[in-house]
Amino acid sequence: MNEAHPYIEDQTAVTNKEIADAFRKCLPYLWDGQGARCERPLNTCGALGRAYLEGEIGRNALARCKGVVMDRLEGNWTVADWLAEKGFIEGGRELRDYRAYTTRTRVRVPKIVRQIQQYRHAWVQALINEFEEKPDADA
């Protein structure tokens, strides 16, 4: 998972512990699936971006975490797309646009979107656990 990413300034600057910490810091920004409408980012990369903008994670950690997410999604754009490709849900593309469910609209969040958010939170927690336990390559 520590493949080189050209948009990271210093390829050695991010440890696995720092990756785990960045994922942990994005969780409060990731919508929890509660409430009639989505008030925070629906996807993991959006939550990572918010944590970066709030100064909680650095640019290299942001880039490395986004690289991990995209690697795990195996070419899919979102978790919903990945779940649909794997046959766990129907849909995908039509579920990806969280803007349809924000407080600025009257559209209520469908149950499947709430379930995807529960999965997304569990997935981020699993990534935290994985990178906390994973030794760095040069350790």
Question: Residue 135: its pLDDT value, please?
Answer: 82
CA-closest candidate to residue 90, choices 67, 115, 66: 115
Coil vs helix vs strand at 104: coil
Q: Hey, what long-range contacts does 5-11 have (CB within 8 A, 24 or more apart)?
A: 5/63, 5/64, 5/67, 7/63, 8/59, 8/60, 8/63, 8/64, 9/59, 9/60, 10/60
What are 31-62's pLDDT values in tens digits?
888 876 667 777 899 899 999 999 999 999 99
Question: Residue 136: its pLDDT value, please?
Answer: 83
Coil vs helix vs strand at 139: coil
Joined tokens for residue 86: 């794997």
Strand partners for 38: 102
* Residue 119 is assigned to a structural domain of this protein: yes
* Residue 6 is assigned to a structural domain of this protein: no
* DSSP state for residue 17 in the 8-state scheme: H
* Residue 8 is assigned to a structural domain of this protein: no
Cα distance between residue 138 and residue 123, in whole Å: 26
The answer to whether the CB of 14 falls within 8 A of the CB of 77 is no
Question: Residue 92: its pLDDT value, please?
Answer: 62
How many residues in total does the chain contain?
Answer: 139
* Predicted model pTM: 0.81
Domain count, the chain: 1
Residues of the domain holding 89: 16-131
* Residue 86 is assigned to a structural domain of this protein: yes
Identify the segments of the chain with pLDDT beneath 50. Answer: 1-2, 139
Please report, to the nearest 10 degrees, the dihedral formed by the alpha carbons of residues 50, 23, 96, 93 taken in order.
140
Cα distance between residue 66 and residue 49, in whole Å: 9
* Residue 20 is assigned to a structural domain of this protein: yes
